[in-house]
Amino acid sequence: MLKKISAACIGILALQSATAQSDSAKKSTTTFTGSVDAYYRFNFNDPPGGTNNLTSFTNSKNSFELGMASIRVDHTMGKVSATADIGFGKRAQEFSYNEPGTTLAAVKQAYVSYAPSDKVKFTIGKWATHIGYELLDAYANRNYSMSYGFSYGPFSHTGLKADIALGGKTAVMVGVANPTDYVSAPNSVKVFIAQFSTGSSNDKLKAYLNFQGGTGLTQFDLVVAGVITNQFNIAYDGSVQSSMIGKTYSSWKAHTLYFNYDPAKMFGLTLRADYFDDRKLSPVLGSANKVFATTLSGNIKIDNLTIIPELRLDNATGAIFSKGNGTAVNNTASFILAAVYKF
C-alpha cells in the first residue's frame, strides 16, 4: 500500500513538474521600440520649383522636415510571435506608396510567425524587403539620404515565407508574395522571393544572395559585408532588375560601396559610392541612363541620439537636374543635417 501511495505521489509531482515546464515555455514577452528622425536639406543649385532629388525620403529643399516617427511592438508566446510596426511621416508614406488612401500614417510591417523548431520559422503578413543593404528606418543606416539602388528596388513584401537554418552561419529563405510593394494584390500574379545567407564563424564576413521573380520581373541582388579592423569595415550591394509590363521592357543595375570608419565611440564616418545604370532607357531617370552619387556622412552619437551632417554630390550623363536660373545641368550638390533618435 505504501509503495502504491509513493508511486502516486511521484506521478503527481512529475505531472506538476511537466505542467510547470510547459507553462514556463509558454510565457509571453512583449517588447516596445521606436524612433524619431527629422532633417534639414539644402540643395546648392537652388532650383526654382524643384528639389534636385531623385531618391527616396529626402524630396525637399531649404526646409525642415519630419522624416518618420515609428512605434514597433513585438510579442512572443512559445513558438508563436507577432510584430506590428507603424510609421508616421513622409518616410512612412513613401514606403507604402502602393497602398490606396495612405497619408502620413502607414503600416510599415505587420506579420505573425510560427517556429515549429529552432531551425524553421514560417511568417505571413507584410515585412520589409530582404533585398539590398539599406533599410527603411533612419537609425538602421549610417547615411541619411538613400541610394539609387534602394530607391528603385523593392520596399516590402506581403506574403508567406519560410526561414530555414542550414547549420553554422548558413540559412535560406523562400517565399511567395504579392507583386512588389503591394499589400493588396492588383491581380493574381505572385512573386517568388528567396535569400541564401552565409558568413564566417566570427561574423567578420557576411554574404547575402537575394532574389525576387515572377511574371515579367526578375531581380538578383548581392550584399557582402566585411570587418577589416575594429574601426573600419566595408560593404557592397549590387543589384540588377528587369521587368516587362505589357509591351514595355525596362532594366537597371546598381552598384554601391560603403566605407565605414569609427575613430571614436561617439563619432563615425561613412563614404557611400553609388552607381546607377538605367540600362534600357526605362522611365526611371528620364533622359539620363547613368548616375554616380558620392555621399559623405558623419555620425555623432550622444546616448540614443545620432546627429548626421551629410554632403552629397550627384553626377548624371544627362541633364536631369536644374540650376537656380532653371537651366538643365547634369550635376548637383546637397547638404543634409539630420537628427535620429531610437528608444
User: Judging by beta carbons within 10 Å of its beta carbon (0-12, 13-18, 19+), is residue 9 exposed, middle or buried?
Assistant: exposed
Residue of 40, 123, 27, 28 whose CA lies nearest to 83: 123
Q: Is the pLDDT of residue 100 over 70?
A: yes
DSSP result, 51-97: ----SSS---SSEEEEEEEEEEEEEEETTEEEEEEEEESHHHHHHTT
Residue 313 lies in a domain: yes
Domain count along the chain: 1
Choice between 25 and 114, residue whose per-residue pLDDT is larger: 114
List, in order, residues 6 or more apart from 96 with CB less than 8 Å away: 102, 106, 107, 108, 155, 156, 183
> Which pLDDT score is estimated for 49?
86
Q: Is the pLDDT of residue 313 over 80?
A: yes
Residue 123 lies in a domain: yes
Q: Is the pLDDT of residue 322 over 50?
A: yes
3-state secondary structure 153-198: CCCEEEEEEEEEEEECCEEEEEEEECCCCCCCCCCCCCEEEEEEEE
Range of the domain at 322: 29-342
CATH no. for residue 202? 2.40.160.10
Q: How large a percentage of the chain has pLDDT more than 90? A: 78
Residue 7 lies in a domain: no
> Which pLDDT score is estimated for 201?
95
Residue 306 lies in a domain: yes
Residue 67 lies in a domain: yes
Q: Is the pLDDT of residue 222 over 90?
A: yes
- Tens digits of per-residue pLDDT, 10-54? 443 344 444 444 444 578 999 999 999 999 999 999 998 899 999
> Which pLDDT score is estimated for 283?
55
DSSP result, 238-265: EEEEEEEETTEEEEEEEEEEEEEEEEET
Residue 309 lies in a domain: yes
Q: How confident is the model at residue 145 (pLDDT cuts 50, 70, 90)?
A: very high
Residue 164 lies in a domain: yes
> Which pLDDT score is estimated for 25?
53
Q: How confident is the model at residue 243 (pLDDT cuts 50, 70, 90)?
A: confident
Residue 175 lies in a domain: yes
CA 269 centroid distance within chain: 20
Q: What is the pTM of this model?
A: 0.90
Three cell numbers at 271?
563614404
User: Judging by beta carbons within 10 Å of its beta carbon (0-12, 13-18, 19+), is residue 164 exposed, middle or buried?
Assistant: middle
User: Judging by beta carbons within 10 Å of its beta carbon (0-12, 13-18, 19+), is residue 247 exposed, middle or buried?
Assistant: exposed
> In this structure, what are the phi and psi dihedrals at residue 161, rounded to the nearest 5 degrees?
-140, 160
List, in order, residues 6 or more apart from 267 with CB less than 8 Å away: 298, 299, 300, 301
